[in-house]
Amino acid sequence: MQTGGGAFNDESFDVEVDAAGNIYSTGYVTATTVFGLNLNVSTNGFSDVYVSKSNPNGGYAWVKTFGGTSADRGLDIAIDNSGNSYVTGYFNGTANFGSVTLTSVANSQDIFVVKLDNAGNVIWAISEGGSLVDIGYAVEVDNLGNVIVTGQFLGTAQIGNNTFTSAIDPNTNLPAFDMFISKYDANGVNLWSLQGIAKYDDRGLALKTDQNNNIDV
């Protein structure tokens, strides 16, 4: 068994295992964190997204951190047949994912999706959202290498090629949370996005794809 942590709050939100038995995890770390015996990582700000890969015997192969000066968190991870990993969650303000810099709308909380190769190098990273609270809760990759993400947005948000506006809560007369589903190709290009709308708050918290590439949310 291996551990990871530091002097402040560190959390893991999702773990996946590939066909070879390698273990992948994502969450967030705060300040300086030690993974295993001597693998140290440091954050750029308050908390950063982390993504880790461990070999089948539990030793860490690599750990990567991404983010900016605010609170950034990885909430879900998916692995394809080539060992590429896909992570979604949220970031605030400006955040660095490898050589890619993402900037949220109006310094708000926005969705990110990032693809890493099997060595932990960033292949691409994209952001989605608007000027309020937007979160990517779940990500999956289908048999064709397409990436599907679901989560929530509040108010008006740009999701893929669509501009969505969430419903107004009849009790508060303020925007409610609405769910979204978005599909991207293997290069991170948006193929389509859908909005789920209800009278009150609704969120996409989990999803699965089947062998025919159908999507269940």
Ordered DSSP codes for 167-179: PBPTTTSSBPEEE
> What's the rounded Cα separation, in Å, for the pair 61 and 29?
18
Q: Average the pLDDT over 34-62 and give the result.
A: 80
Residue, of 95 and 31, whose pLDDT is higher? 95
Say how many CA atoms lie within 13 Å of 11 toward its Cβ. 9
pLDDT, tens only, 118-138: 999 999 999 999 999 999 999
Work out whether strand 11-17 and strand 23-29 pair parallel, antiparallel, or are unpaired.
Answer: antiparallel
Residue 9: which pLDDT band, with cuts at 50, 70 and 90? confident
Q: Judge whether residue 171 has pLDDT over 50.
A: yes
pLDDT at position 40, please?
64
Residue 7: which pLDDT band, with cuts at 50, 70 and 90? very low
3-state SS, residue 149: strand
Q: Judge whether residue 72 has pLDDT over 70.
A: yes
